[in-house]
Amino acid sequence: MIRFEQVSKKFTNDNYVIKSINLEIKNGEFFVLIGPSGCGKTTTLKMINRLINLSEGTLWINGKKITDYDINKLRWNIGYVLQQIALFPHMTIAENIAIVPELRKWSRQKIQQRVDELLEMVGLNPEQYLNRKPNELSGGQQQRIGVIRALAADPDIILMDEPFSALDPISREKLQDDLVNLQRSIKKTIVFVTHDMQEALKLGDRICVMREGKVEQIGTPKEIINNPVNEFVREFVGVKKSEMDENINLEKMIYPISNGNHSIKSLNIISASTSLKDVLTALTHDEEVRVEKNGDVIGAINRKAVIKHLASI
């Protein structure tokens, strides 16, 4: 889908911001770029839609060099969500969402249907929100509009540059949950920049850890936690190696299983004394698993609960 082949970027005086990176982002994948400030993750993101042109190497999208695409058509097929929501204040919510479909000359009826569909998708009643202005919405609601505006023309790729970092913790967690659920239904290729490892572990199918313009490690959340390639990645993830083999208190992470939970029969069972490494292995195969103690099931656990625990260590 997206492939970086020996890609570098330098701005002045041979100062390389990106240094010969190679990486491939799969179709339909939620791919997270993470690293310290100034490591080059936003530059990497912006090269995908040619907001920044690469200096060396080749960047491919669907087997075609990005320089061979008409730049406007390229960007119409790539949604972009920023930390600064950048909704047009003088436009209604409907007008903000409709910008790219109008540029692509969609019919009025098709645009209206799409706007209604997207608002409903993120839990905003079209009748209530269509004609409001951005300043009439909360920060979380505005960011939802920013996300669905990027989806309006049904692009194949969505770029997201720290879209939730300016929000309060409650709104941020809610939008992360919404994005996870949304991705399950839309199955877009999402490239997401963050500096928050907890957010990366929660959202990413795979995570690319960067430092000083280079790729340190690419892997699934489980691979990054279980097998950091060096001390930098281990420290950045924030999990001590010894903790992976030690027993942890799963009872602090479990949540109750209600009788109405339709997935209860499909849940595997692990012991309350299971090591963190084995918990992560179990959650590779199942979204959640049951936890057993003294022969009784005492609750369930999922990846979100594990990540919260890791963040609190």
Q: Residue 128: give its domain's CATH number.
A: 3.40.50.300
Which pair of tokens denotes residue 48?
């995908």
Q: Are residues 211 and 84 in the same domain?
A: yes
Cβ(110)–Cβ(104) below 8 Å: no
Q: Which residue has the tokens 């505005």?
A: 142
Do residue 91 and residue 213 come from a single domain? Answer: yes
Q: How many residues does the chain have?
A: 313
Q: Of 202, 219, 237, which marks where a domain is finished?
A: 237
Cβ count near 90 (within 10 Å): 9
For residues 47 and 145, membership in a common domain is answered with yes
287 vs 106, residue with greater confidence: 106
Q: Give the percent of the chain with pLDDT over 70.
A: 92
Neighbours of 99 (CB within 10 A): 15
Amino acid at position 210, single letter = M
Model confidence at 262, in pLDDT bands (50, 70, 90)?
very low
Residues 262 and 299 in one domain: yes
Q: Are residues 140 and 167 in the same domain?
A: yes
pLDDT for residue 283: 80
More confident residue, 100 or 257: 100
Where residue 263 falls among pLDDT bands split at 50, 70, 90?
A: very low
| pLDDT higher than threshold 90 for residue 193 | yes
Res. 240 pLDDT band, cuts 50 70 90: low
pLDDT (mean) for 181-206: 91
- Predicted confidence band of residue 167 (pLDDT cuts 50, 70, 90): confident
Residue that finishes a domain, picked among 237, 263, 285: 237
Q: What would the two tokens of residue 274 be?
A: 């299971």
pLDDT at residue 192, rounded to an integer: 97
Residues 155 and 8 in one domain: yes
- In the chain, how many domains are there? 2
43 with 79, same domain? yes
Among 204, 237, 270, the domain-final residue is 237
Quote the pLDDT of residue 312: 63
pLDDT at position 33 is 97
> What is the CATH classification number for the domain harbouring 249?
3.90.1280.20
Q: pTM of the prediction?
A: 0.78
Instruction: Tell whether 169 and 273 lie within a shared domain.
Output: no
Q: Are residues 125 and 249 in the same domain?
A: no
Mean pLDDT of 283-290: 79
**Domain of 248?**
243-312
Residues 182 and 251 in one domain: no
Arithmetic mean of pLDDT over the chain: 87
The beta-strand segments (E) located in the chain are 2-10, 16-25, 30-34, 56-61, 64-65, 78-81, 157-161, 189-194, 206-211, 214-219, 269-271, 288-293, 296-302
d(CA 291, CA 273): 9
Between vectors from CA 288 to CA 298 and to CA 226, what angle results, nearest 5°? 110
Q: Is the model more confident about 14 or about 204? A: 204
List Cβ neighbours of 256 (8 Å cut-off, separation of 6 or more): 299, 300
Q: What is the pLDDT of residue 131?
A: 94
Between β-strands 214-219 and 206-211, what pairing exists: parallel, antiparallel or unpaired?
Answer: antiparallel
% of the chain beyond a pLDDT of 90 = 49
Do residue 145 and residue 270 come from a single domain? no
